[in-house]
Amino acid sequence: MAKVLVVTSGKGGVGKTTSTAAIGAALAQSGKNVVVVDFDVGLRNLDLVMGAERRVVFDLINVVQGDAKLSQALIRDKRVDTLSILPASQTRDKDALTPDGVARVIAELREKFDWVVCDSPAGIEKGAQMAMYHADEAVVVTNPEVSSVRDSDRIIGMLDSTTLRAKNGQKIDKHLLLTRYDPARAARGEMLRTEDVLEILSIPLLGIIPESEEVLRASNLGSPVTLSNPESAPARAYFDAVRRLQGETLEMSVPSERRGLFGKWFKWRVA
Ligand SMILES: Nc1ncnc2c1ncn2[C@@H]1O[C@H](COP(=O)(O)OP(=O)(O)O)[C@@H](O)[C@H]1O
Ligand SMILES: [Mg+2]
């Protein structure tokens, strides 16, 4: 049965869009049929990160309002054929997303895909509520700093009260994804420790994504990091997170870049 997953946080700039692209791609790379949906109306970043911006013709709002069919708006990824994106509109009003229209589009997506991964806008207002309303599961993206943790706490409260599942008395599975984690700064005490974040938010840890230049490089290339550089530290962290999302139990670690002698030799050999 299809699963709807929302990637949410409250705070902006913590890595939601990056994580939506990487998680969606990693799920598709494992053979699942995946669509990533951009609910960040007005900003429209997901298509850029996915490298699909020049292929956008119709968007989520067109489909919600009945001006385009879903099949006209979905863009199939050129690298992984089980991955699609439903882009957001850059120009339209956020209020164009009506609850009934969104419900209809989500129901249609559930029939076509194994995973529907929704990228949420920042904040705790209507846009974020709309993105999480139909979710079965949530990835709460959090940076190891006080303001991000506080906003994640508020989002967890919303997930437990304002979603369709909550209203039906069902539980929504929540997973914590700690992103932009810098082990050196953590060791110097400049960031919150993982244990402290876990103690405050008390939801299970899905993964720890290290701060890495590879993420910026991937986004400039228009590619999820799991596709542009699958061996990189953030990509390996996302692959592990996605395996946990699918029920595997793996030891928790923060991947680091492989810069051993062998790595250099290997690079030299293939150059
Ligand atoms: N693990 C990471 N390492 C380095 N930079 C990151 C990482 N994750 C996200 N970023 C950068 O942080 C910025 C905000 O990320 P984004 O995914 O757009 O956040 P959000 O969608 O929550 O606003 C982007 O410039 C992105 O490239
Ligand atoms: Mg975003």
What are the tens digits of pLDDT across the range 26-79? 999 999 999 999 999 888 899 999 999 999 999 999 999 999 999 999 999 999
Q: How far is the CA of 45 from the centre of ligand 2 (A)?
A: 6
May I ask the CATH class of domain 3-246?
alpha beta
Asked whether 233 and 210 are in contact (CB, 8 A), the reply is yes
Residue 267 scores a pLDDT above 50: no
Q: Is 232 in the pocket of ligand 1 (CB under 6 A)?
A: no
Which ligand is the nearest neighbour of the Cα of 241? 1
pTM of the model as a whole:
0.94
61 exposure class (CB count in 10 Å sphere: 0-12, 13-18, 19+): buried
Q: Which atom of ligand 1 lies closest to the CA of 21?
A: 17
Which residues have beta carbons under 5 A from ligand 2 (an ion)?
16-17, 45
Q: How far is the CA of 210 from the centre of ligand 1 (A)?
A: 11
**DSSP labels, 108-163:** HHHHH-SEEEEEPPSSSSHHHHHHHTT-SEEEEEE-SSHHHHHHHHHHHHHHTTTS
Q: Is 211 in the pocket of ligand 1 (CB under 6 A)?
A: yes
The pLDDT of 6-30, averaged and rounded, is 97
Binding residues for ATP: 11-18
pLDDT of residue 254: 87
How big is the CA angle at 138 (ends 176 and 154), to the nearest 5 degrees? 70
Q: Is 87 in the pocket of ligand 1 (CB under 6 A)?
A: no
Q: Whose CA is nearest to atom 15 of ligand 1?
A: 15
E strands present in the chain: 3-8, 34-38, 75-76, 83-86, 115-119, 137-142, 173-181, 205-210
Q: Which of 93-107, 126-140, 203-217, 235-249 has the lowest mean pLDDT?
A: 93-107
Residue 153 scores a pLDDT above 80: yes
Quote the tokens at residue 193: 């420790």
Q: How far is the CA of 10 from the centre of ligand 2 (A)?
A: 11
pLDDT of residue 93: 76
Q: Domains of the chain: which residue ranges?
A: 3-246
**Each residue of 80-101: b (16+ CB within 10 Å) or e?**
bebbbbbbbbeebebeebeeeb
Q: Is 220 in the pocket of ligand 1 (CB under 6 A)?
A: no
Choosing from 7, 11, 18 the residue with most ligand 1 atoms within 8 A of its CB, the one to mutate for a pocket test is 18
Q: How far is the CA of 212 from the centre of ligand 1 (A)?
A: 10
pLDDT digits (tens, 9 = 90+) for 158-189: 999 999 999 999 999 999 999 999 988 988 98
Binding residues: 11-18
pLDDT of residue 265: 41
Q: How far is the CA of 13 from the centre of ligand 1 (A)?
A: 6
Which ligand is the nearest neighbour of the Cα of 140? 1
Which ligand is the nearest neighbour of the Cα of 10? 1
Q: Which atom of ligand 1 lies closest to the CA of 13?
A: 23
pLDDT of residue 186: 86
Q: Is 16 in the pocket of ligand 1 (CB under 6 A)?
A: yes
